[in-house]
Amino acid sequence: MAAFLVVVLAGYAVGLGYQLTQPSVPAANARLADWLWAHHLTHGLSGYWQASSVTVASAGSKQTPHVTIRALTSHFSGVVPYEWETKPGWFNWRTQYANFIVLQDQPGYFTYWEPTSQVKSVFGTPTATYRSGPYTILVWHQNLLLTLHQWEQSAS
């Protein structure tokens, strides 16, 4: 029994040693923040998970001064501001600006968010579409917060 435990412990030690020698890899959302910054996309919208994690990741990045993404949630006929853990001013079209939406098409723990038809029903066809890893970035040449405000007013 003692020999078996020594072998298991040695296996764990080898695995730990291997992991310690591997270069660190930035989180996927940090890479997304860097990609957005490099493409001059600094204020946008997405699902809750991407919105919060990209905004936080970019705040601590030396390469990416700050990318801000605000959260939306899917609605049966469109998308609406995600009101949990937000500030009302974040969606004020008079003082804020957003011109892109990030979709994520890989299933995962809270990360999948791809309401393409709802996004297009509210904002129309994007001017440009990009792919970066598991993300699709839809870009418009307008303030999406104004469009969102107008859609919400017409829906109520």
Q: Report the predicted TM-score, pTM, of the whole model to 2 decimal places.
A: 0.78
> Pick the residue with more confidence: 36 or 5?
36
Which phi and psi (to 5°) does residue 83 adopt? -90, 0
Residue 59 pLDDT > 90: no
For residue 139, give the 3-state DSSP assignment. strand
Which phi and psi (to 5°) does residue 150 adopt? -65, -40
Where residue 64 falls among pLDDT bands split at 50, 70, 90? low
Q: Which helix (H) or strand (E) holds 2?
A: helix 2-21
DSSP annotation of 113 reads B
Cα separation, 147 vs 16, in Å, equals: 51
- Helix, strand, coil percentages (3-state) for the chain, rounded to 5, are 45, 20, 35
Q: Residue 49's pLDDT is what?
A: 84
Q: Which residues pair with 68 in a beta bridge?
A: 43
> Pick the residue with more confidence: 139 or 11?
139
Let me know: does 115 contact 74? Beta carbons within 8 Å.
yes
